[in-house]
Structures are given as structure tokens and as C-alpha cells.
Amino acid sequence: MSRKILMIDDDRMQYRLTQAHFKNFRGEDFTLDWAATYEEGLARLLEGGFAACLLDYQLGERNGLELIRAAVAGGSHTPIVFLTAEASERVDIEAMNAGALDYLVKGEISSRTLERSLRYALKLGDTLEALRKLATHDQLTSLLNRREFDRILAEEKERSRRFGHPFALVLVDIDHFKSVNDTHGHPVGDAVLQEVAIRLTRGLRDVDRAARFGGEEFALIIMQADRKIALEAAQRACASVRSSPIQIDGGPELQITVSAGAAEMPADAASGMELVAAADKALYAAKSRGRNCAVAFSEL
């Protein structure tokens, strides 16, 4: 399958020349898309879908360094190869510091050097993406880890304060998980954690976030949600987990349930710590009411 490369350059002739280089590539198949302005290039980069980006240094009155910083701030991880007309060590260093993965001088570009640079950027980009995932995701369940959860919670708390949008937190705990480990062993317990993680994410929207909070406990951040929506999300989590037994490969079939507690910001808490505490109290109430159910903090 052909991999899409975005070129951001206000020079149509440079775009045509780069197209000609692409036709001479001997290895992987690439297709070249073009954006002629800073604004169009940034918008398309943030949309995603590109394997890499070739970015010109000078874009009208603005430059590529600004665009790299704006793209990174917007969450783009697309590998960028910086293009410039001047062979300057200063530009080279500035481009790398801004986030570019390689640097090419236009007058020195050949089909071979361009293809090699793209391959290098793609390989390094894959490595950096793997490192980012290790830093932000739980290795067992592939959900967000506690550190990333804390970061997103603080971010959403600030967004809620600025724009007046409520959001909710649902804490979920696997019922009687210790007995699973004690009876069947930790490998089975790990398999249960993995399957529960999958089931918890099924009822979430793309904008919502799921994290492994710790041990057998999970956290769901439900964006722009009031108390009613928060409780419904918690109830869906319980229903999704108990919907069918978990079949362990080469092992037992286990009927697993979870308990869940939901709380909303700002109605139930004024800080991220208070929101976690409120959801935890609701979770404890669900455990006290017999487990396998969801409770909202507003019900306590």
C-alpha cells in the first residue's frame, strides 16, 4: 500500500521537482500530497493520515519552524523532514530543536537522498511513537497509565473551568479479583485484566479516555458529561463486563463483574483530587451494596 507524504511548500516548481524524485524511488511506494500555505499545511497535518511531512523553511511571511511548533502543540506526531534553501548550521539546529527528524538542503537533494531521508524519518518516527506509548500506556492492558491519567485529568479540569463544560470520572473495580489470582494464578488474573480493559472501552466515545488506575482498578474520563451521563457510563461499564463469561485460553471460563462509582466536575468536586475522592466514595458505596452495580456520588 502506498504511504502518503504531505509536502508543505509555497513553490509549485519545488513540488513538481519532488514529484519527479518520487517516481525514481527504488524502495517503498509513496504518494505526494501538496499544501501551498502555512494555514493549509498546518490544518492538513493536524488532520493526520500522513506517514511523513516534507516542510519548507520559508512559507510566505511565516516559516516552517513556527509550523512545527504549532503542529507539535496540536498533538501531531507526524515525522517531519525540514527543507531549506540555505545550508546553515543554525537552521539545522533550530529545525531539530523544534521537532524535525531530518534536514535537507534543496539544492543538494537527489532522488536517493530524499528517499533515504524519508525512510530514516519514518523509522525514527516509529521508534519515538513506541517510546511515547511506553511512557503513557499500561503495558498489560494497553490503556493509559496512571501518569497519563493524572495529566489528562488536570487538563480537563482546567478546560472545564475555562469553558464551563462539565466532565465526569468513573472508577471501576473488578469484584473479588484477589480470589481469581489465588484460585487460578496470576497469568489468569492478567488475562482477566486484559479482557476487562477491552470491554470497558467498548462503550466509550472516541473523545473519552480509559486508564488503568492501579491493580484491578480502572478509570474512565467521560468528556462533557453531567451526573446523568456519568451514571449511565458507569452502568454500561458494569453491563459490558458481565455480558458474558471470560474464556481463558486453555483455562477456566470465569463470570467476572465490576463495581463502579461516578462523579462529575464541577458539581461534585472543585479539583482533580476531590473528583477522584468523590468517585472513590461512590465506588465504595457500590461495593457495600452488593457489588456488580454502579453508584453516583450524588446518590450518597
Q: For the chain, give the number of residues.
A: 300
Grid coordinates representing 151?
495529566
The yes-or-no answer on residue 274 being catalytic is no
Quote the CA–CA distance of 80 and 59 in Å, as a whole number. Answer: 15
CB atoms within 10 A of CB 171: 26
Identified catalytic residue from 94, 115, 156, 216: 216
- Alpha carbon 271 to chain centroid, angstroms: 23
Let me know if 18 is exposed, middle or buried by CB neighbors in 10 A (0-12, 13-18, 19+). Answer: buried
Contact (CB, 8 A) for 145 and 138: yes
Quote the CA–CA distance of 268 and 171 in Å, as a whole number. Answer: 14
End-to-end CA distance of the chain: 55
Quote the CA–CA distance of 271 and 248 in Å, as a whole number. Answer: 40
Residue 224, CA atoms < 13 Å, CB-side half-sphere = 5
User: Which amino acids are annotated catalytic?
Assistant: 216
